[in-house]
Amino acid sequence: MSNNNIPEKTIERLSEYRRTLMNLHRQGITHIFSHVLAGMQGITAVQVRRDLMLIGFSSDTKKGYDVEVLIDFINGILDSPTPMNIAVIGMGHLGQAITRYFNGKGLNLKIVAAFDVDPEKVGQTIEEIPCYSMDDFEADVSSLDINIAVLSCPSRIASDLVVPIVNAGIKGVLNFTSKPLNFPLGIVVENYDITTLLEKVAYFVKENEENNEM
């Protein structure tokens, strides 16, 4: 099966499984049963087994899954053969928080540059990465071999960045602004808006309360 056929939700869970497995590995745990992994993720063992079957992982031994082997297998599915470089566009509160949080994770993905328009930030090193001017965005993205952009600029200017991002050859966008963006086919985009997500949680809380009252 090509990785393109793996459902989005399975990809998200594989990333979560890997983080859990890496923690277990650090604690010296060598094997884990599907129901234990499932319990740690708050899902069913059937779901875990189905996800791992989908990616062709079947080495469930009497002791459960071999933690190291499973991490390697998931690496082979999720990671690109070469490390991917990420740029943060808008190195304000959120951009800096994301960089600080993400670059400590030791993944095959690294935030290597920031772009901003603030003269006090451009030319500085912030959270251990260089901050470049938006004026030279396309040339710098190309010379730094950046594949992915994280958008943490003001929402009102987010749509102005679609064309520069496409022209610069960026292949994936994680958009944190409150302006949902569309890109041409071939560019992966994930819009992550905390207000939408919180409203979704609040809606289901309300639904549960209403159902409990009935």
Ligand X SMILES: NC(=O)c1ccc[n+]([C@@H]2O[C@H](COP(=O)([O-])OP(=O)(O)OC[C@H]3O[C@@H](n4cnc5c(N)ncnc54)[C@H](O)[C@@H]3O)[C@@H](O)[C@H]2O)c1
Quickly tell me which residue has 């929402």 as its tokens.
155
- Binding to ligand X (CB under 6 A) within 18-57 occurs at none
- The smaller minimum CB distance to ligand X, of residues 84 and 181, is found at 181
Q: Is 193 in the site for ligand X (CB under 6 A)?
A: yes
- Binding to ligand X (CB under 6 A) within 91-130 occurs at 91-95, 115-118, 121
Strand partners, 190: 174
- Binding to ligand X (CB under 6 A) within 164-183 occurs at 176-178
- The smaller minimum CB distance to ligand X, of residues 34 and 177, is found at 177
Describe the chain by its helix, strand, coil percentages, rounded to 5: 50, 20, 30
- Going by C-alpha positions, the residue among 86, 81, 83 that lies closest to residue 170 is 86
**Shortest distance, position 171 Cβ to ligand X, whole Å:** 19
Q: Is 140 in the site for ligand X (CB under 6 A)?
A: no
Report whether 92 belongs to an annotated binding site. yes
DSSP 17-69: HHHHHHHHHHTT--EE-HHHHHHHHTS-HHHHHHHHHHTT---EETTEEEHHH
DSSP conformational letter for 83:
P
- The smaller minimum CB distance to ligand X, of residues 134 and 170, is found at 134
- The smaller minimum CB distance to ligand X, of residues 10 and 96, is found at 96
**Shortest distance, position 24 Cβ to ligand X, whole Å:** 29
Torsions phi, psi of 113, nearest 5? -155, 155
Q: Which residues bind ligand X (CB under 6 A)?
A: 89-95, 115-118, 121, 134, 152-155, 157, 176-178, 192-194
